[in-house]
Amino acid sequence: MAPGRRGRIFRRTAVIVAVIALSLTMEISGFLATPEEQRPEVSYVTLHATVALVYAACAGIAWSLGPTPVPARMMVAFTVLWIPVTFFHVIEDIDWLWPLLYGVHLWWAAVPTLLPLVYPQGRLSSLVDRWLVGIVVGISLVFLFGAVLLTGPNPELCDCAPNPYQIVDAPALFSAIDNGYRLVGALIALVIAGRLLVGWVRGSIPARAVAFLMPVALLAWTASLAALVVTYAVETAADRVLLTVSLVAVASIPVSFVAGVAHTRNMRSRVADLMRITREGADRGLWAESLARTLRDASVRVYWWDEERGRYADAAGTPIEASDADVRGGSHSILPVASPLGAPIALIRHDRVLTDNMRLLDGVSSALRLSVDNGRLRSEIERTLEQVRQSRQRIVEAGVEARRRIERDLHDGAQQHLVSLGMQLRLAANAARGAGEEQLATELEGTITMLNQYCTAFDIPPP
């Protein structure tokens, strides 16, 4: 593990441990400091503390999985802002502290409200999202200033020291700010939940696969939040079941976030299927079908670069249409794939929601390059093997021809020498007989006979 990565992991772990310790300290100390007759049930306190622990744990997972640290930091902020009401009994005598904490003790609600806006890419994607964030920040600051400047100690909250920041005693105005803060926050949560649900219903299969848990969790949270706002506005004590449902719904949002991000990240493992297909340079039509199955996007189209015609065309040779190439403002995007040297390879037309998972698309691009490289390498190897086979055949044929030529030369040359030798022996035998050397003539005749037998054995006409 690289030293830099080890340091980041250590720092993040330290932050998570610190916020968990802070949250548990507030929860336990507040429970113990509350008069016994006012203490909430232990089961509720345990569930309340568990919500913060869930956010802290999900922050650690989001740090390791998410493309940006923003979601993890939001979850850490939630753990810090998850201030139990009982904790004010601990700090009731610290006059400079409790008004500030009271002014931010509801800020935790901004995290589950805004967290879906940065799902799953970890950033805001539209101007509407930025406006919603701005409104939430604005009303949170209004509530903070109202709590700090316009109200004094709340007897139902704690027996707190006087508020040193209070400039005017306006309980009615602060009550309006308090109710308005809760109401506007609930309305924004409903708007975000509605947008998310509508987008999920209208979205394509890839879009639904990416955001498959968040709509349910957010709707449960907003429904319980709206119910709590109504009960608070009419000054009615919230039902214990409603509070429990609300806590569970709040805790389900970060779980849904990290589960969705993990699911999106696991989609990249399906690229391994493409790698297996491309080991031998798969057929282009088969590759496109496999890509559609991998991305779960039936609208995927792959257009290959035709070097001869200078255009993109699909596996059947049909050129890309202008409507497919121009995806501005549409529901699809174009992913160009090029070789390391910049030569065009293909265009992949896919659902726009997949652009939020660039690592997946990078894996697809790598798989496509591998497919093309494997196909090109296989063709080059086949051409090389064919050249080797042809070269070997030419070498064999040349060897056979050379052997025949040598045999022919040897055959013709030996025949001439043997005929000449036979004639010389015949002349020598005749000369010996004419000189009365019968014994020598007889020996020469025997040599001529042996020479004739040799010629017959090697298919050479006798001299």
Q: For the segment 5-38, what is each residue's pLDDT rounded down to a tens digit?
A: 777 888 999 999 999 999 999 999 999 999 888 8
Kindly report the average pLDDT of the chain as a whole number. 78
Q: Is residue 462 part of a domain?
A: no
Which neighbouring-strand residues pair with 333? Answer: 350
Residues 237, 146 share a domain: yes
Domain that holds residue 233: 3-268
Q: Which residue bears the tokens 């020291």?
A: 161
CB atoms within 10 A of CB 208: 16
Residues 137, 21 share a domain: yes
Q: Which of 353, 380, 407 is the last residue of a domain?
A: 380
Q: How much is the pLDDT for 25?
A: 95
Contact 270, 294 (CB under 8 A): yes
Number of compact structural domains in the chain: 3
Q: How much is the pLDDT for 21?
A: 96
Q: How much is the pLDDT for 369?
A: 67
Residues 140, 87 share a domain: yes
Contact 242, 231 (CB under 8 A): yes
> Which stretches in the chain have pLDDT values below 70?
1-4, 199-216, 218, 227-239, 264-286, 294-297, 321-331, 340-341, 351-379, 406-415, 417-418, 455-463
Q: Is residue 276 part of a domain?
A: no
Q: Is residue 13 part of a domain?
A: yes
Give the distance, in angstroms, between the CA of residue 174 and the centroid of all CA atoms in the same chain: 48
> What's the length of the chain?
463
Q: Which residue bears the tokens 């940065």?
A: 118
Contact 59, 79 (CB under 8 A): yes
CB atoms within 10 A of CB 415: 16
Residues 374, 234 share a domain: no
What is the rounded CA–CA span in Å between residue 165 and residue 154?
A: 15
